[in-house]
Structure 1
Amino acid sequence: MPAPSEFLSWVDASKDAFIARLSHAVSIPSISGDPAYRPHVQEMSDWLNAELTKVGVETKQVDLGNHVMDGQTLPLPNAILGKTGNDSSKKTVLIYGHFDVQSAALTDGWASEPFVLTTLPDGRLVGRGSSDDKGPVLGWLAVLQWHHETQTPLPVNLRFCFEGMEENGSEGLDELVEGEGGLVWRGGLYVYRVYSFFLR
């Protein structure tokens, strides 16, 4: 099904706002594999949760408890569960993605500061997380924003699961699925994994 022309026009008109939103997301160094950056992973969870609620998604941040990393006991970043739509005549699709990133530094070979979104001469945007996985997640946010602002019904019910430990083994995800199974996963879901390979 092709995207509505009015949606495509809205996307073009909203480009600067979308880039600004991605720039903010990239600026949050949500590195899940480094204990020193754990507060920033939680910061990213809080920010994304707030953005989802702005576009009409009913959300729940889930405390996943603690784990041990490098000899330190640390809180796992809150996962985000969300839902919009509850029409029994529509199919239900679960969107899975993550908001954490791997470490990055200029000494790793980056040509620009990895946590500053940079526009290349050919127009491509570069920054840690811009393709894996913050950019694709924010793509879904844009879709939700248009439907919310125009009051256009979604063709399916949507459920969301966003985590902050994917780059470090998805610690806590198994327990999340088991603990929230009766609330989120039931109902004959179709599952979509937010991928970024098409952006490269």
Structure 2
Amino acid sequence: MNEMKHHHHYRDIESSYEHYKNVLAEAVAIQSVSADPGRRNETIRMVHWMKDYLAKFGVESKLIDLGDQLLEGNQVPLPPVLFGTLGHDKSKKTLLVYGHLDVQPAEKSDGWNTEPFVLTEKDGKLFGRGSSDDKGPVLCWAHAIEMMQKHKVDIPVNIKFCFEAMEESGSVGLEELLTKEKDGFLKGVDFCCISDSYWLGTTKPCLTFGLRGICSFQVEVTGIAQDLHSGVYGGVVHEPLADLFWVMSQLTDVNGNILVPGIYDDVAPMTDEERKSYETIDFDVTEFRDSVGAKRLPIEDKTKLLQRRWREPR
């Protein structure tokens, strides 16, 4: 009986494809480019659109005003942050879902083959700015809730949502807000899930439970006090640009291994369990190579490639 029920749910999900696609198309059409002051109203509209959409499934949302931001010499309003709540059952754990509703700039002139803000289906794939980063994944939460409610399936957790629309521009104002809300909206949260990562391949969904960080540095090399003619003075004074090339070239060897002393000291040693997990994981190196448009990769062994991608500094 249970299997029949699940089969029925699955069929319903499959037959809802056009509905899901139309909802995504509506979201993609809102040009919520957070870096463009001329489209800031679109970014704000996107957050309101999401609030209205979640309300259909009983999500109680409030929009938190973050004030203004100085952008390209003008004060422009920041889009609000959406805090949403579904379920208040004290016996259930509470999951906080994070996602973002803004997108990177996109124009046909950037090299798009289709209109970036018109969701377009080609060869079974959907193309549109934000369809995978991050409007599509955010909407999947709403689709899952919709389907569970429709089939009277108990949602096993309380859900809180935190959706912002400045992620592509540095999440301006979000950290301060969340710090302020640690005993407010965030109180009682047991675990968090972000909606902004990738499948390993093209056929099997996966759960991502960790992401690499990034370190940024600024390097400035100075030399003589004035510009000199290279034909007359080349080779007899220090050339800052040539020195910078040399310094940068010492950071890695030709195989991409980092040469900075001590860089690998903080990398956690690999356990036997982790070593084994690389062997059985479903990952196709050839498909990956083709998907990034490379003729060859620096390393084409599945286990070593995944270790480079996930656990080693690069």
Answer whether TM exceeds 0.5 for this pair: yes
1:6, CA displacement in angstroms? 3.5
Does 189-198 or 14-23 show the bigger shift? 189-198
Deviations 1:60-119 (A, max 9, x none): 111111111111101100110111112222111100000000000111111111001010
2:92 to 90, 95, 106: 90
Higher mean C-alpha displacement, 83-92 vs 62-71? 83-92
The corresponding residue for 1:136 is: 137
In structure 1, list runs of 5 or more residues that go unmatched: none
Distance in 2 (alpha carbons) for counterparts of 1:5 and 1:137: 25
Match of 1:186 in 2: 187
2:101 maps to amino acid: F
Unmatched 5+ residue regions in structure 2? Answer: 203-314
Amino acid at match of 1:117: L
1:1-200 correspondence runs (5 A): 4-121=6-123, 123-198=124-199
SS at match of 1:132: coil
Could you tell me whether the CA contact under 8 Å between 2:96 and 2:189 is conserved in 1?
Answer: no
2-side partners of 1:64 and 1:189: how far apart?
A: 26
Q: How far apart are the structure 2 equivalents of 1:196 and 1:50? A: 25
Tell me how far apart the structure 2 counterparts of residues 173 and 7 of structure 1 sit (CA, whole Å): 37
**Letter aligned with residue 37 of structure 2:** P
Q: How many residues align?
A: 198
Please give the TM-score of this superposition, normalised by the length of structure 2: 0.60
The SS at the match of 2:85 is: strand
**Rg bigger for which structure?**
2
2:55 is paired with a residue of what secondary structure? helix
Contact 1:56–1:148 (CA under 8 A) maintained in structure 2: no
Q: Identity over the aligned pairs, expressed in percent?
A: 42
Q: Match of 2:104, as an amino acid?
A: Q
Rounded to whole Å, the distance in 2 between the matches of 1:165 and 1:177 is 14
| C-alpha distance 115-84 of structure 1, shift in aligned 2 (>3 A) | same
After TM superposition, give the deviation of residue 184 of structure 1 in Å: 2.0
Closer/same/farther in 2, CA of residues 145 and 108 from structure 1, 3 Å limit? same
When you count helix as a share of all residues, which structure comes out higher?
1
User: Shift of residue 188 of structure 1?
Assistant: 4.3
* Cα separation, 2, equivalents of 1:60 and 1:5: 36
Report the Cα distance in structure 2 between the residues aligned to 1:60 and 1:151, rounded to whole angstroms: 26
Bigger Cα displacement from structure 2, 181-190 vs 165-174 = 181-190
